[in-house]
Structure 1
């Protein structure tokens, strides 16, 4: 900071290189992010900020609830980095609870909480996808400014009214998913689902795991994971379009991804197109997502279970007319 204050770029660059040589830990990551917001030579220290962001995302994206007390101690800049991650293993209700707990821990004065929630954190929670129980809670608590809370809830309720299909109990109580919608260049979304190894081990032949029903730009979908018995037992994955019975056609491109242990990134396994009609019942997808037998898929040396979790991503893109 001193080198930056006196405008000595070479010294700033040298300090950046020294910081990059340090082992990244929680204290170092939060310090580097605070530093990047206080130094004018932001391009020079950009590698530090990037390394800190990658560390925080890797630490929290799979298990924020288990580390809530630690998360509550994060400064605002670090907390925002975590919330920006698209692949968080959270429902919107979970995200709301975590943001609220953090704000209460960091800002005990109500007016201060109003300011940070309204100006910084409200944009990280997709209120439209929260349950009615949580929407009611927003109106009942004092943490969010009442006028802003009312606008958020009214917008969410209008969204639900415009998508009025009544969901079945199975569709409501399935495995939670996280939906990240995009609108340009066309309507599309990434949907993230985590399946535990124990869930797979407990599946009978032709048994299945259903995700919660979820909206993508007004259309309801579900993801189905199945232990398939065609030819040899294998892990199948399917996308189901949930119609309300009206004679409509939903045209989508879809792609299935799974995270591999060795590559530490999502790998595409299937890419296809389909025109869903109101008479479709089964989902569309593949009987063998990972091109291996069931025994190899769930074995202890499987490429696809990371800390006993199977991390799935489904990309859905509506076809342009």
Structure 2
């Protein structure tokens, strides 16, 4: 907590900063500001004018954005503006998101850092059943770097009070002995709690650009457990990554996981 403000500003201006998630950066800045500026008025001023502009709210989880709105250390009008802008970005078309992230003026707001946990788009429903739809987008080069045994984990998302995550893998197909792309859904919390989930994995495909269902099922999760498919597309790794692959649309792999809890 003894890092000077100028040092923090320099570090957080970087796109290459390796960090678990943007939520982590926000939490760190709040703790640092509270430790360095005991007086609330001075703390609010420093956060408002110097530190919050360094936070990329567009890559924070919706769960954390709700906490931003309730934070008394942040001017409510500024918090509302930041959260609204972030939600609009999340709802925007992928090509618009890429344009904003690449623009010299807006890139510091919208460019992704080197996150350990990949940001998701999540849509939640309460009726007729608790349901959420999570979208995970991966670049072709990110997928390529998974070979031969790499993994990419998503940020956590929540359904009916339980935390879940997605993980993309490069696997060895056990029966045919070739490498392939796998997708898994895990439950975050460890413990005795169990929940039964209907799930479906889908991917956007060419030439239609529509999402096509790949697998669906029903699974009873307990903390730390996961379910998924070692070969999501039923093809070898080389064919999955080939130039004529059906699963990369403008250089991006678009994955969707739909979760529903139908039990009371």
Q: What is the match of residue 255 of structure 2? A: 312
Alpha-carbon offset, residue 263 of structure 1: 1.6
| Match of residue 179, structure 2, among 215, 218, 233 | 233
| Match of residue 265, structure 1, among 202, 210, 213 | 210
Highest CA radius of gyration, 1 or 2? 1
Q: Is this contact kept in 2: 1:181–1:217, CA < 8 A?
A: no
In structure 2, runs of 5+ residues without a counterpart are: 1-21, 24-59, 85-114
1:38-77 correspondence to structure 2 within 5 Å = none
Alpha-carbon offset, residue 319 of structure 1: 2.7
- Paired with 1:201 and 1:243, the residues of 2 have a C-alpha distance of 30
Q: 1:201 to 1:214 in 2, by over 3 A?
A: same
Q: What is the match of residue 252 of structure 1? A: 197
| Match of residue 289, structure 1, among 232, 246, 263 | 232
- Paired with 2:256 and 2:147, the residues of 1 have a C-alpha distance of 24
Highest RCO, 1 vs 2 (Cα 8 Å, sep ≥ 6)? 2
More strand by share: 2
RMSD: 3.0
Q: 1:300 to 1:244 in 2, by over 3 A?
A: same
Q: 1:144 to 1:130 in 2, by over 3 A?
A: closer
1:207-222 correspondence to structure 2 within 5 Å = 207-222=150-165
In structure 1, runs of 5+ residues without a counterpart are: 1-90, 93-124, 150-171
Alpha-carbon offset, residue 128 of structure 1: 3.7
What's the TM-score once normalised by structure 1's chain length? 0.48
What's the TM-score once normalised by structure 2's chain length? 0.58
Q: 1:126 to 1:173 in 2, by over 3 A?
A: closer
Q: What is the match of residue 53 of structure 1? A: none
Q: 1:304 to 1:137 in 2, by over 3 A?
A: farther
Aligned to 1:185, what secondary structure does the other structure show?
Answer: coil
Q: Is this contact kept in 1: 2:183–2:228, CA < 8 A?
A: yes
Alpha-carbon offset, residue 145 of structure 1: 7.8
1:127-142 correspondence to structure 2 within 5 Å = 128-130=63-65, 136=71, 139-140=74-75, 142=77
Residue 177 (1) aligns with residue 150 (2): no
